[in-house]
Structure 1
Amino acid sequence: MDAMDMVLEVQRIESAISLLEADWKSVHRSISDVASRAGILVRGIPKKPSTTWRREDLVGLEVDSGSGWISLDDEIDRLAIELDAQEVRPVASVGEAATEIEGALSRNQERVTQLSMVLASAIEDWEQANKQRQSLELRIEALEEDLRKHKDALLLQRLGSPDDLGTAYENCPTCGQSLPDGFEITDYPLAIEDNIAHLERELATFRSMALDAARTAEISQARVYRLREEMEGLRAAIRSQKDALVSPNSLPDSSLLAERLRLEEKVKALRSIRDSIESSIDELDSLAATWRRNKEELAALKGRDLTASDEAKISALRSSLVSQLDAYGFRSLVPQSIDISKKTYRPIHEGFDLGFDLSASDMIRVIWAYLFSFMEVSREFRGHHPQILIFDEPRQQEAARASFQQLLGRAAVNGAAGSQIIFATSEEEDDLASMLAGLPHQIRSIPRGEKLIKPRSL
C-alpha cells in the first residue's frame, strides 16, 4: 500500500522522538546531579521536552543566600566583589590584627552554633519532604493498579462477562481497607465507568501533588548542601584564625590569606559549575528544537488521509473478506457488519478486533478469508504478495464439510489465476476427492506411516 511508506516514516520519527526524550532525561539528570552537589537550584527545566519550553524565558539557576534564593550570577558577582576588596586590602601582621582576628573568630563560632541548628532543621525538612514524596508515589502506584483493574473489568463487561465485577474486591478500592465477608455493601455502587472517571481525577490530583513534593524535596536538598558548604567554610576559617593567633606576631595574618584563597576557589568553582550547566542547557535547547521539528512532522503525517488507491485496496479487501465469510457459513456475526481497520488492516466489528465474540470454527473461517483476501487484492493491484499460501490442517475446530469445500473452491479459483495454494491435510482421500470433483488440482497421497520429507539418498 502507498500508506506503507508513511507508516515506516511514522515509525522512524516516533523512534527518533523516543531517543530524543531519553537523551533529554539523561542530560536533565546530569544537570540535577551537578547542581545539587553545589547547592544550586535549577528552575524551569521540565522532565521531558515540550512545544512551549524556551530556555531564555524559563530556566534559572539560584542559590540560597541565607535570606532567600538569589540568582547564581548575582551570587558570583557578590563573591567576586568581596574577593576584589580582599585583594586590595593590605595584609597586616598577626600582632597588628590580633584584636580583629579574635573578633572574627568569636563571630564565626557564634555563626557555627546558629548554623548547626538551622542545618539540623533543614535536614529534618528534607527528610520529611522525601517521606511525603515516597508516600505519594506509593499512593499513585496503588491508584494506577486499581485503575488498570477497573479498565480490565470494563473490557470484560463489554465482552459479555456475566460476573458482578463491581464488587469483586477483597479490599476497598478507595482506602485499601479489607472488606470482610458479610460486610454490607451499598445497594447503589458506582458504575465501573464512574469509578474509572473518579480514579483518573484522583490520579491527576496525586500526580500534581507528587510533582510539588518532588520540587520541595529538591529545594530542601539544595538548601542542605548549601548550608553544609557554608558550615565547612566557617570551620576552615575558624581553624585558620586559631592558627594565626598562635603564630609569631611578626608573621602576616594567615587567616586573611586563607579567606582570600577560599573566596577565589569558590568563585572559580561556581563559574565552572555555571559554565557546565549552561553547556548542558545548550544541549537541551538543541534537543528540544529537534524534538519539536519531529513532533510537527509526525502530526503532519498522521493528519494525512489514505490515498484513493489505498482506499480502493481496503474496500476490495473488505469485499473479498465478506463474500468469503458468507460462502464459508460464518454465523457468529452478520458478515456484512465486518469491516477492515484503516490503522491495523485487520478485520473489526464495531471498532474492536474480532476475538472473544466468535466461535472457534468461525475464527478459522475468518483466517481462511483473510489470507485469501490479501492474496487476491495484491494480485489485483500488483502488490508484493508472493502469491503462495500453504495450509496445514486447515479444517481445524471441526469446521463444517461444506465450509471446507468452499475453501477448496476458492483455492482452485486463485490457482487458475496464477497463484499457488498447497494443502496438507489428513482428510480421507475418498472424501477429499469428492470435494475436489470438477476443480483443477493436483493431489499427492502419502500412505500412512511414510514421511513426507525424507533424507536424500547418496
Structure 2
Amino acid sequence: MSQLTINALKINIVTNKGVFGTFSNFVKGLNVVRAKNSTGKSSYINSILYALGVEELLGGTNGKTMKPVLREELTYQNNSYKVIESNVELQISNANNDSITIRRWITSVTREERLIEVEFGPSLTEGKKFKKQDFYVHLSGSAQNEAGFHSFLVEFLGWELPFVPSFEGKERLLYIQTLFPLFFIEQIKGWSSFYAQTNTNYGIRELSTRAIEFILGLDVLSNSKLKEKLRIEKALITQEWSNLVTLIKEKADAVAATVVGLSDKPDLLSNYEIFVYDKNQNLISLREKISESVLEYNQRSNVVRSIKDIEKEHEAKINEVEDKVLALQSEANSIRQDIYSSTINQSTLEENLVQLQQDLKSNQDAKKLLDLGSDKNLYVAKGICPTCNQKIHETLLPQDIEFQPMTLEENIKYIKDQLATLKFAISQSKGGTNEKNKRFRAVSEALEEERRRVRSLKLELREDPRMLSNLDIEETLNLKWRIKELEETENSFEEIGRKLETLKQQWQQHLIETTKIPEEFFSKLDKTKLEMLQKKFRYYLEQFGYSSTLLEDITISHDKFTPVVRGFDIRFDSSASDYIRLRWAFALVLNFISNQYGGNHPKLIIMDEPGQQQMNINSTGKLFELLSGLEGQSIIASSLTLKEIEGVTEGVSVNVIDLGDDYIMKPLLI
C-alpha cells in the first residue's frame, strides 16, 4: 500500500545578518496553510516539491526553480538581507508509519543542489539525531540505481512503478515526477489542466493517460503494456521474415530458380520448395537438379576422349542441337508474347484501379455532402453523379431500370469490393508475369547455350582428329562449376530455412501470448472503477456548485480518463470558476477511487491557492469539508483571512497553520 504523509517542513536561510526561515508541523487529515498574498506562501509550498526532487512541476530543476527569497535576497521589516546558504528540511512518513527527514540545499558553497541527505528518523518533530545517508537526484540512474534518491523514495512510499511504452518503441520507467501533477496542484500551471505536464514527457507515449492508469491501479495499464509489447514484437518478426523472404528470392533468381509455397508474411504452415529447370526446361527440385548434374559429371570425368572418338557423336549432336535451337527460339518468342500481353493486361488493371479509387473518393464526398443536407450549387446537391456527370435521384443507376437501383452507400460498398478484387487480380498478374520472366530467362539462357554449342561443335570438327576434345573438357568443367554453385545455393537455403523455423517458433509464441490478452479492453474491476469515477466526479461537482453544463452530460473519457462533455473537452463548456471546480473534483475523485477500490494514490492532496478566479467562499468551504472526509492528508495553501477560514470550516476537523500577514521567512536566530 502506498502513502505519503507530510509531517513537518522547515526552511533555513543563512544571511549576512543571521538565520531566517520557518517551521510547521502537519497532521493527517486537512491542513490549511494561511498567509497573505505575496508573503512567500508559494515558496513555502513549492519547497515541498524541491525537497522531494520533483520541482520539475515548476518548470525546471534544481535551485533556480526556487524564488529569489530562498537563494538570493530576502526582505524583512523593510530591510534586505543577502542569502549566503539555504536548505529545506522535510519530514515524511509512509503507510508503515516509518519516518525519514529529507534535507536538500538550495544554495551552498559545499553542498551541490543534486545531493539529498536522508536522515532515517523524525528528526524535525523529535529533535533527535539519526543515521544519515546521501543520495543524488536529476542525474542518470537517480530513478533506478541504489544511490538514486527517487529509487529510494519510490521504495519507501510503497510504489512499484511500471515500465510503459515510449516514442522510441521501447519501454521507459513511469518516473515519479509524472505522478505528482495528479495530487499536487501548484499555483502557476497546476490549475490550467487536469494534468499539468512538466516541460518534458520523458519520451513516454500518452504520458497523462499512463499516469492516471497507475494512480487508479487500472488493469488496463498492464493490458496496454502487453499490447504494445506484442505490437512491437509482431513488427520485428514480420520485418525479419520479410528480409529472409527477400533473400531467398534473390538467391533463387541468381540461379534461375522458382520458389513455391513461400508466404510473404509469418506463417506457421509455410513450407516452401525450390525448383529449377532441367535440360528439357521442365521444373525439378533443386536437389534433383544437383543429383542429375553430379551423375552427368561423373560419367564425363571418367573418360577423356579425342575428337576422332566423338566425331560421329558431334555430327549427330549438331543436328539435335540445331533442332533444339529452333524449338527454344519458338518457345522464347511465345513467352515473350505472353509477357507482353500480361504487361498490357496489368497496365489496364492498374488504370482501372486508379479510376475506381477516384470513383470511390467522388462517391464518398457525394455521400458526405448529401448526409449534411447540402443545398449549395454543387453537382451532388443538384443530383448529378460525381463520376459520370449524369442526373441521379440519390442513386447511381438510370431511373428506367426495372429493379431497385443501388443507393450511394450501396454503390460505395460495391466499389470497395471491386477495388479489393482488382488489387488481388493485379497481385496475381504481377506474380504470373514474374514467373514468365523467370522462364523466359531460363529459355533464353538455354537458347544462347545451345547456339554456342553448335558453334563449338562445328569448330571442333575442323580440328586435328587426334587432339583431345576441348569442348568435352570445357563442358565437364562448366558442369563442375554449376554443381558447386547449386550446392552453395542449397546450403544458403538450408541456413535461411533454419532461421525461418526459428522465426516460426517465435511467431507461434507471439500468437499464444496474443490469445492471453482479454477480449475486453477493461477488466471487470476497471469498469467498476470507471463507473464510480464518473458517478463520484459528478457528485463532487454538484457539491461544489458547478453549473456550466448539465451534470448528466459529463462523462469520463475511456481513452484519456479525463472529463468530457458529449465527447469534447469540458473546458470549452465551463466558466473560469467552474473549471477550477472541475479541477478540485478531479483531484478528490482520484484519491477516493484509489482508496475505495484499490490503486496507487499516495493519499495526499496539496493545493496552492484553490480559491482561483474569485471562487465563491461557500464553494471553498465545501472543498475543505470534503477534503477533511478523505482518507489520508491534504495541505491547502490559502490567502483567506483567519476569520474566513474559521467561518467555512466550522464543524470541520482542520489544522490551521497561520503564517501571518508579514513575510513568512522570519528570524530564527538573532
TM norm structure 2: 0.51
1:258-304 Cα shifts (integer Å, max 9, x gaps): 22222222222222222222322322222122112112211212337
Alignment partner for residue 186 of structure 1, among 381, 389, 393? Answer: 393
Do residues 210 (structure 1) and 417 (structure 2) align? no
Do residues 225 (structure 1) and 460 (structure 2) align? no
Using a 3 Å threshold, how does the CA distance of structure 1 residues 155 and 163 change in structure 2: closer, same or farther? Answer: closer
Q: 1:75 matched to which residue of 2?
A: 289
Using a 3 Å threshold, how does the CA distance of structure 1 residues 185 and 148 change in structure 2: closer, same or farther? Answer: closer
Shift of 1:324: 5.3
Question: What's the secondary structure of 2:262's corresponding residue?
Answer: coil
Question: What's the secondary structure of 1:85's corresponding residue?
Answer: helix
Using a 3 Å threshold, how does the CA distance of structure 1 residues 188 and 376 change in structure 2: closer, same or farther? Answer: same
Q: Which runs of 5+ in 1 are unaligned?
A: 396-400, 424-428, 443-458
Using a 3 Å threshold, how does the CA distance of structure 1 residues 100 and 273 change in structure 2: closer, same or farther? Answer: same
**Distance in structure 2 (CA, Å) of the matches to 1:161 and 1:150:** 14
Give the residue type in structure 2 aligned to 1:354.
Answer: G
Shift of 1:39: 1.8
Q: 1:335 matched to which residue of 2?
A: 553
Q: What aligned pairs does 1:17-96 form with structure 2 within 5 A after superposition? A: 17-51=234-268, 53-55=269-271, 59-65=272-278, 66=280, 68-88=282-302, 90-96=303-309
**Distance in structure 2 (CA, Å) of the matches to 1:134 and 1:143:** 14
Give the residue type in structure 2 aligned to 1:97.
Answer: I
Question: What's the secondary structure of 2:516's corresponding residue?
Answer: helix
Shift of 1:18: 1.0
1:131-153 Cα shifts (integer Å, max 9, x gaps): 54455456556656766787788
Q: 1:320 matched to which residue of 2?
A: 536
**Distance in structure 1 (CA, Å) of the matches to 2:259 and 2:479:** 23
1:177-206 Cα shifts (integer Å, max 9, x gaps): 552xxx312343544542443234223322
Question: What's the secondary structure of 1:61's corresponding residue?
Answer: strand
Q: Which has the higher helix share?
A: 1
**Distance in structure 2 (CA, Å) of the matches to 1:406 and 1:239:** 109
CA contact (8 A) 2:342 2:429 kept: yes
Q: 2:225 matched to which residue of 1?
A: 8
CA contact (8 A) 2:536 2:589 kept: yes
CA contact (8 A) 1:112 1:234 kept: yes
Question: What's the secondary structure of 1:92's corresponding residue?
Answer: coil
Using a 3 Å threshold, how does the CA distance of structure 1 residues 170 and 409 change in structure 2: closer, same or farther? Answer: farther
Using a 3 Å threshold, how does the CA distance of structure 1 residues 67 and 40 change in structure 2: closer, same or farther? Answer: closer
Q: What aligned pairs does 1:421-436 form with structure 2 within 5 A after superposition? A: none
Using a 3 Å threshold, how does the CA distance of structure 1 residues 18 and 234 change in structure 2: closer, same or farther? Answer: same
Q: 2:572 matched to which residue of 1?
A: 360
Question: What's the secondary structure of 1:39's corresponding residue?
Answer: coil
**Distance in structure 1 (CA, Å) of the matches to 2:244 and 2:635:** 56
1:75-117 Cα shifts (integer Å, max 9, x gaps): 33333333333233x3332234333323323433443343233
- How many aligned residue pairs are there? 412
1:374-418 Cα shifts (integer Å, max 9, x gaps): 4653465442578567999x98xxxxx99x999867865676654
Q: Percent identity?
A: 18
Q: 2:495 matched to which residue of 1?
A: 279
Question: What's the secondary structure of 1:302's corresponding residue?
Answer: coil
Do residues 261 (structure 1) and 477 (structure 2) align? yes
Q: 2:517 matched to which residue of 1?
A: 301
Shift of 1:125: 2.6
CA contact (8 A) 2:383 2:393 kept: no
Alignment partner for residue 313 of structure 2, among 100, 116, 120? Answer: 100
Q: 1:121 matched to which residue of 2?
A: 334
RMSD of aligned C-alpha atoms? Answer: 4.8
Give the residue type in structure 2 aligned to 1:129.
Answer: S
**Distance in structure 2 (CA, Å) of the matches to 1:94 and 1:408:** 114
Shift of 1:22: 0.8
Using a 3 Å threshold, how does the CA distance of structure 1 residues 184 and 191 change in structure 2: closer, same or farther? Answer: closer
CA contact (8 A) 1:36 1:225 kept: no
Give the residue type in structure 2 aligned to 1:186.
Answer: H
1:14-36 Cα shifts (integer Å, max 9, x gaps): 21111100111111111112212
CA contact (8 A) 1:129 1:213 kept: yes
Deviates most, 190-199 or 92-101 = 190-199
Give the residue type in structure 1 aligned to 2:546.
Answer: Y
**Distance in structure 2 (CA, Å) of the matches to 1:162 and 1:211:** 40
Q: 1:452 matched to which residue of 2?
A: none
Which of the pair has more CA radius of gyration?
A: 2
Shift of 1:252: 0.5
Shift of 1:239: 4.5
Deviates most, 69-78 or 218-227 = 69-78
Alignment partner for residue 374 of structure 2, among 147, 151, 163? Answer: 163
Deviates most, 60-69 or 373-382 = 373-382
Structure possessing the higher relative contact order (Cα contacts under 8 Å, 6 or more residues apart): 2
Q: Which has the higher strand share?
A: 2
Using a 3 Å threshold, how does the CA distance of structure 1 residues 206 and 361 change in structure 2: closer, same or farther? Answer: same
1:223-246 Cα shifts (integer Å, max 9, x gaps): 122223323432443453344234
Give the residue type in structure 1 aligned to 2:334.
Answer: S
